[in-house]
Structure 1
Amino acid sequence: MLTRKQHQLLLFIYEQMQQTGISPSYDEMKEALDLASKSGIHRLITALEERGFIRRLPNRARALEVIRLPDSTPAQADEAGRQPQTAAQTTTHSRRPAGKKPSVDMDGAANINVPVMGRIAAGVPISAIQHQTQTLSLPADMIGSGEHYALEVKGDSMIDAGIFDGDTVIIRRTGSAHPGEIIVALVDDEEATLKRYRRAGNIIMLEAENPAYETRRLELGRVKIQGCLAGLLRRY
């Protein structure tokens, strides 16, 4: 039996991972639960881990895995008609996009083919996005509205956002972004990189999520937004 705060934190972590593909930070958890300090979050995380609801992934910053959800939830979840679910670590949940025709796997589940467009730098620069190399067949519920593509991450500059070398990111194709979103940025039409997006006037700031890397500040005309992070896949 979980306490109300443990329920709230578990559902918050799960919903954030469904939306972004990465686990929230301790500061985000503290703010969501209206707690005074991160020590309270640490105790709740430990309790959830001991009860088998989550798992902390070793040697990785901000890396949590939701193993399962409780059979029953607090009153506010019951009022919303929430149904028990099996948790998934790396998928985002949204409506099926218009215009995409899903396939059906042997279990009867709808899948959508997403092109893999090569590698993206999360660290030192590499070449711009390449041509399609293969396709991924992903559950339809993982893909939001719009057009998507996938990229293999190369580098470690986004590790504090839970994105590691060798991960595959799912990108929603768009030419604009909100401040704070993780984007695929094309710099000078020749270098593609995965960074957090900020803007101050005519200056674009591409922020790393690793203190070993400095924020890049570039004139507006040098940067083209190629898409925003929609999900993440990881193989073990």
Structure 2
Amino acid sequence: MLASTKLTDRQQQIYDLVRTAIERTGAPPTRAEIAQALGFRSANAAEEHLQALARKGVIELVGGTSRGIRLQSDTLRAVHQRRQQQAQLPMPGLAQLMLPLVGRVAAGSPILAEEHVDRTYQVEASLFSRRPDYLLKVRGMSMRDAGILDGDLLAVQQTSEVRNGQIVVARLGDEVTVKRYKRNRQGIELLPENPDFDVIHVAEGDPQFALEGLAVGLIRNGSAF
């Protein structure tokens, strides 16, 4: 059972590194980034530890992507419980969030307008480092290499304050898209995580562009409900 899964000190380090990266940027680190952070000589050493974590069931590895690492939703809950038990603290009730699932979004109307909400899900607040406001169903594979796949549910915090490198939900006219955000002197670039897709360039002050939120977590469709 996941609640009794024992990790080595090094495995715990890597797990914490992956979780922190997802909390901070919305995407897991690459093998090379893990190797650099922990002083490994090569990315292969990081891969071996990730494979061990996958065998223990605390992460899932998505093949063919440089950032294809996912935390299991029940893993987060199990680690939370185990750490509290080790500290000999009583287990509090896990806080629940009621999050609307946003479907197709009509141009010119707020993303959380009633007509956009397909249904509402109850999820555990402990799954997210920052409180999300809604779930958005991912459509397409433009963020494949960040481990965000078609049909996944992206947890989004409504905000227009984002930093370079974070994964955001942006509106471009009639379309809502999930991309990595980059701002420079020329304007804004929305970067895909799949070489088959083009960078979207947005001119400064483009009235068709709006930031709808920041990605704060990911749930594989159906896995956490």
TM-score (norm 1): 0.69
Q: Secondary structure at the match of 2:194?
A: coil
CA distance in 2, matches of 1:83, 1:203: 45
Determine if the alignment matches structure 1 residue 63 to structure 2 residue 63. no
Give 1:17 deviation, angstroms: 4.5
2:213 matched residue in structure 1: 227
The correspondence of residues 1-236 of structure 1 with structure 2, limited to 5 A, is: 4-17=9-22, 22-50=27-55, 52=56, 54=58, 56-57=60-61, 59=63, 61=65, 62-65=68-71, 84-85=82-83, 109-119=94-104, 129=111, 131-143=116-128, 148-187=133-172, 189-222=173-206, 223-234=209-220, 235=222
Gaps of 5+ in 1: 72-81, 87-106, 121-125
CA distance in 2, matches of 1:210, 1:231: 19
CA distance in 2, matches of 1:4, 1:170: 30
Contact map agreement 1:116 1:149 (CA 8 A) in 2: yes
Give 1:109 deviation, angstroms: 3.9
CA distance in 1, matches of 2:70, 2:129: 23
Return closer, same or farther for 1:5/1:109 CA change in 2, 3 Å cut-off.
Answer: closer
CA distance in 1, matches of 2:100, 2:75: 30
Give 1:149 deviation, angstroms: 1.4
Give 1:180 deviation, angstroms: 0.4
CA distance in 1, matches of 2:120, 2:131: 17
CA distance in 2, matches of 1:181, 1:18: 10
Return closer, same or farther for 1:20/1:113 CA change in 2, 3 Å cut-off.
Answer: farther
Contact map agreement 2:26 2:166 (CA 8 A) in 1: no
Contact map agreement 1:199 1:205 (CA 8 A) in 2: yes
CA distance in 2, matches of 1:231, 1:31: 24
Contact map agreement 2:181 2:188 (CA 8 A) in 1: yes
Contact map agreement 1:146 1:173 (CA 8 A) in 2: no
Q: Identical aligned pairs, as a percentage?
A: 30
Deviations 1:100-128 (A, max 9, x none): xxxxxxx95431211222148xxxxx967
Q: Secondary structure at the match of 1:12?
A: helix
Return closer, same or farther for 1:200/1:171 CA change in 2, 3 Å cut-off.
Answer: same
**One-letter amino acid matched to 2:175:** E
1:94 matched residue in structure 2: none
Q: Secondary structure at the match of 2:205?
A: helix
Give 1:229 deviation, angstroms: 0.2
Return closer, same or farther for 1:127/1:33 CA change in 2, 3 Å cut-off.
Answer: farther
The CA RMSD over aligned residues, in Å, is 3.4
Gaps of 5+ in 2: 1-5, 85-91
